[in-house]
Structure 1
Amino acid sequence: MEERLLGSEAKYESNLKGRIWTESKKLWRIALPAMLARVSQYGMFVVTQGFIGHIGDVQLAAYALIQIIAVRFANGILLGMSSATETLCGQAFGAKQYHMMGIYLQRSLLINIATGTVLLPVFIFAGDIFKLLGEDSDIAAKAGYISLWFIPILYFFVFCLTIQKYLQAQLKNIIVGWLSAVAFVMHVILSWIFVNLLNLGIPGAMGAMIIASWFIVIGEFVYLFGGWCPNTWNGFCLAAFVDLLPVLKLSVSSGVMLCLELWYNAILVLLSGYMKNATTEISAFSICLNIISWEFMLCFGFLAASSVRISNELGKGDAKTASFSVKVAIITATIIGTFFFIICLLFSHGITKIFTSSEEVISSVSSLSVLLALSVFLNGLQAVLSGVAVGAGRQTLVAYVNLCCYYIIGIPVGVLLAYVADMKVKGIWIGMMVGVATQVLTLGFITYKTDWDQQVDEATARLDRWLLKPSDESTGN
């Protein structure tokens, strides 16, 4: 009897290891291309900051303002709204409603193009906006000039992000990873030629980023229209204009969920601009945020992977596999977060020299190294838990969590520590950490209490409600 029990335990342990290995392969199949894409795409912003940072401190601070506030503002909305595509296409793929995925893509593109156009005034009048907010006049004026160069990048977000979500939902995002990697190399070469050899300054740095970014978008369209998605793309159809309102509602809740998270850091950078030594404080804080954001691009791979895995399994109706996938993703994110925690503690001083040669800024960044490392560790858990919510279509719930944790807890704590306790940038950062830690704990508790059978029922009801028969696509009936 005892031998039978031991044999049963060994079989279960072996089976568990096999399940973990199988699930890990599925996660990494999505995560690796997503990581490559996000790191390469964000890397172009970091490379541009590096070239502009060596032009001058004012230019660096101005670029930091426009990138972390205006660009993050727009990217937060568009990336968040694109996660509606991720939810709908992921669940449709799991349910084998392949023909609906192309329709969901077209609906999301219509909504996101309109949204991007509404956001245009933010970039056109960025300089005046920063002056009204009380930022340093020289920095605000230069930021207003740089913001005009970001208008083509705004529409890059619209097309690239939406198509990327559509492709990764059907496990075809490897093409986006390779396009992004090639674009990154192209961007580095063009930046060096335009800025260092031709001495074109800001126009050269921004022009290189525009060319490299749109190379990705053109490549995605070639892949989409070239017949590499035969089951999910049947061409443009009138059905794209049907049920736009419910898709818009899900897109808005998705946008609010993510932009509340991305705006959080932007508001903290804005607060650092009101300190006495604004140029140094903004530059130091923005460099730390860029290091975090670059690492967070890796975490976005797990956000994408957990989202696709959960949405696919919910679409299939498999609640147990969805729950198991969540556990494997959280364990993997924790291991990776620990690795980057150690890296940031050891090499933060050397990394800072990539962005600036100012000893004052380098010293300021070095004093934040412990907080930087802790933030990097929390990023992985935050991304996986957010990805689980996106996969289940629970963006509205997460939006409320982000609002409370970041804006009711994190920012007030940061303001008190920075201005009342006179801890300056370190105080703002501690406030940010408190908000992120509270969010991770809250989302962790919600995920732990989730009834996955109920989530399957909700996903099935959503897909059935919006389902169109293949013969109805062209007429939109």
Structure 2
Amino acid sequence: MGERRDDELGKMWEKSWVESKKVWHIAGPAILTSLAQFSVNFATIAFVGHLGDLELAAVSIVQSVIEGFAFAVMSCLCSAKLIVHVNQLGMGSALETLCGQAVGAGKLNMLGIYMQRSWIITCVTGLFLLPIYIFASPLLKLLHQSHPMSNLAGKYCIWVIPQLFAYAVNFPLEKFFQSQSKVWVMAIISMVVFAIHILLGWLLVFKLGHGLVGAAIAGNVSWCLLAFTQLVYAVSGRFRDAWTGFSLSALKSLSGFVKLSLASAIMVCLEFWYYTAMILLVGRLKNPEIAVGAISICVNLHLWTMMIALGFNIAVSVRVSNELGAGHPGAAKFSVVVAAATSMFFAIIFCTTILSTGNHFPKLFTNKPLVVKETSKLRYLLASTILLNGILPVLNGVAVGAGWQFQVALISIACYYIFGIPFGALLAFRFNLGVQGIWSGMVAGAFLLTVILVFIILYRTNWHQEALQAEERIKRWGGPAETQLY
């Protein structure tokens, strides 16, 4: 009996190890790339936090509200370009996984055209978003943010306009590289640019004393360098089958691409805008500079740790979709368990670190005693949020892989915007809990969403039926991709 149990445990361990390697093969470089790119703005917050409370609050609200909005829209729109291949191969979503499916469909020559279409869409979107940057100051005042903070934020927004168009070029390039498994090149470029950003930021902000302008210039140079380096690599001749030069074909069927991106856009934007709404609520509290500074430090730390979970989000989305498309529902379910357990392991480590350094971690971002004190008070809520988001992005990845994004988007709206934000506002303004009340509402909304998704995945999902639906999609979209879409 004991030998049999040991044998079963051994097989389970071997199976888990094999699946874990598959997950890490996808998640590893994705995590490094995400961490390096997010850390550019993360480091900017650390630089300006040592300039003053007002500077920290102004840059924080720009990154969270203005740039966060643009970042979400850009990343969603560029995901549309190869969505048809996802349907062809049995997947139900766009985002990072779809470009690789175009390669699998044998349409390498179309990758460069799809990337050009995405550039057109994202650059035009950048032009539409430009007024938000130009008129950021009156817009923030309209949203009842403090006048000193809004005025300084408006100036900073003007200075960082180049970053808006760097986003427009960068996101389609990322999909182009992912489609051809050049993810390690992306990771290396991103890490080198981040190292340059640290050096440049220190030089401009502290050594040369350019302050907020120096921080903006460092960010502009870093994001433009990232986009330019990846562009040079893409057109260097290393992708002869995928990149054949600029083509007028990129101008065709642009409206179809925009329409196809909307489902994916809902899921991504709901996550970004949830934090945006929270920052705006905090900006209406008393002493908003202190409150916004404190919560922005915590939000940026949380989002930085979330890059780990998002790597597993990408991995589990690919694994679930592949296994369902291959008719292996049991393997798809097992992949969810492995990815979730690994992601939670890292979340627990981050939680322990935050709780054990609660009075010290804010000093990485600011030397202002009031901001340090206010930030330290949020450490328990920050730890709770990190723990929840160790599992939530993985669950969203399951939704992406199985094609449930529309249903999950509706559930997210209910949990975040109908329950979480109003509950946080009630605690903050009616019961005078301030920043802690607003964040408590956010945690409550995320917890409710997590519970619902776990229930759906574990108890309401028929994995065999999902595999049959994936097979049906393959049959339905079996023809040439371009003719099917248009």
Alignment TM-score > 0.5, same fold = yes
How far off its partner does 1:309 sit? 2.9
**Quick one: which of 173, 176, 182 aligns to 1:166?**
176
How far off its partner does 1:454 sit? 3.8
**Quick one: which of 21, 26, 29 aligns to 1:30?**
26
How far off its partner does 1:85 sit? 4.7
How far off its partner does 1:94 sit? 4.7
* Residue number in structure 2 paired with 1:17: 13
CA contact (8 A) 2:302 2:382 kept: yes
Q: Deviations over 1:232-256 (max 9, x none)?
A: 4444445544554443223122122
**Quick one: which of 142, 147, 161 aligns to 1:151?**
161
Gap change, CA 1:461 and 1:116, over 3 Å in 2 = farther
* Residue number in structure 2 paired with 1:58: 54
How far off its partner does 1:400 sit? 1.4
* Residue number in structure 2 paired with 1:196: 206
* Residue number in structure 1 paired with 2:238: 228
1:431 aligns with 2:441: yes
Instruction: Output the TM-score relative to the length of structure 1.
Output: 0.90
1:256 aligns with 2:289: no
CA contact (8 A) 1:85 1:162 kept: no
* Residue number in structure 2 paired with 1:114: 124
CA contact (8 A) 1:264 1:407 kept: yes
- The aligned amino acid for 1:136 is S
* Residue number in structure 1 paired with 2:35: 39
CA contact (8 A) 1:418 1:425 kept: yes
CA contact (8 A) 1:94 1:315 kept: no
CA contact (8 A) 1:85 1:104 kept: no
1:227 aligns to what SS in structure 2? Answer: coil
* Residue number in structure 2 paired with 1:86: 96
- Count residues with an aligned counterpart: 468
Paired with 1:426 and 1:209, the residues of 2 have a C-alpha distance of 31
- The aligned amino acid for 1:456 is A
Deviates more, 1:449-458 or 1:272-281: 449-458
1:351 aligns with 2:357: no
Paired with 1:325 and 1:59, the residues of 2 have a C-alpha distance of 45
Identity of aligned residues (%): 38
1:280 aligns with 2:290: yes
CA contact (8 A) 1:85 1:105 kept: no
1:271 aligns with 2:290: no
Q: Deviations over 1:253-300 (max 9, x none)?
A: 212211111111111111111111111111111111111011112222
Gap change, CA 1:110 and 1:12, over 3 Å in 2 = farther
Unaligned 5+ residue runs, structure 1? none
How far off its partner does 1:110 sit? 3.0
2:399 aligns to what SS in structure 1? Answer: helix
Paired with 2:263 and 2:97, the residues of 1 have a C-alpha distance of 12
CA contact (8 A) 2:95 2:264 kept: no
CA contact (8 A) 1:77 1:256 kept: no
Paired with 1:48 and 1:183, the residues of 2 have a C-alpha distance of 14
* Residue number in structure 2 paired with 1:323: 333
How far off its partner does 1:330 sit? 1.2
1:290 aligns with 2:300: yes
Deviates more, 1:237-246 or 1:159-168: 237-246
Instruction: Output the TM-score relative to the length of structure 2.
Output: 0.89
Taking only aligned residues, the RMSD between alpha carbons, in angstroms, comes to 2.6
- The aligned amino acid for 1:332 is T
How far off its partner does 1:168 sit? 2.6
**Quick one: which of 381, 393, 401 aligns to 1:383?**
393
Paired with 1:334 and 1:58, the residues of 2 have a C-alpha distance of 36
